[in-house]
Amino acid sequence: MKRVIITYKNLFLFSLLVLFLLVDVSMFTLFNTNISALLLCLYTIVLLYQNRLFPMMLSGLFVSLHFFLFYGSIAPLFTYLLPLSILARWAKIIIRKESIIPFLFLALTIAAEHLFIMPSVFGTKPLKLCTFYKICGNLLMLVIFLKYVPKGRQGNRL
């Protein structure tokens, strides 16, 4: 069994995940609706730009904790997030256009949550305009995050 070494990157990721979970929960308590998906944005970045298993599992754990806090169950999460995550990893390998995949993945997960999960769990149908605004706002947050995330090595630098 491989041992996980605690590094500064893993500690930074953990603290960022805790911070984004607190921000998402506080936004929900302030506005009484789930308007931000910062954890989902970070999960998208970790899923598509990280090749190590521990950061992907840690961010997936926090997304499932977020989903449990909002919906009371994580079973519906696996009906759409796991297949979309596998599809996104496959698309990253097959389609060499990495610039569009994170945005498409994030938009699909938010749309699936609003159009399929929320009506089946709560029995309410959110407005399509609200879904559109949430997708646009979170895509903007993803653009901001991707601007500051390093894309790996450049040249012979470490």
Average pLDDT along the chain, 158 residues, taken 10 residues at a time: 68 88 86 81 86 85 86 79 84 74 88 83 79 89 81 52
Number of structural domains in the chain = 1
* Whole-number pLDDT of residue 12: 85
The DSSP string of 135-156 is HHHHHHHHHHHHHHS--S--TT
Q: Is residue 158 part of a domain?
A: no
First CA to last CA across the chain, in angstroms? 28
Angle at the Cα of 145 (from 8 to 76), degrees rounded to 5?
90
Q: Is residue 26 part of a domain?
A: yes
| pTM of the full structure | 0.79
Q: Based on C-alpha coordinates, what's the Rg of the chain?
A: 16
Boundaries of domain holding 22: 8-148
Q: Is residue 67 part of a domain?
A: yes
Q: Is residue 154 part of a domain?
A: no
Contacts of 24 (CB under 8 A, 6+ apart): 34, 36, 37, 38, 39, 66
Q: Is residue 156 part of a domain?
A: no
Q: Is residue 49 part of a domain?
A: yes
Q: Is residue 80 part of a domain?
A: yes
Q: Is residue 68 part of a domain?
A: yes
* Whole-number pLDDT of residue 11: 84
* Whole-number pLDDT of residue 158: 44
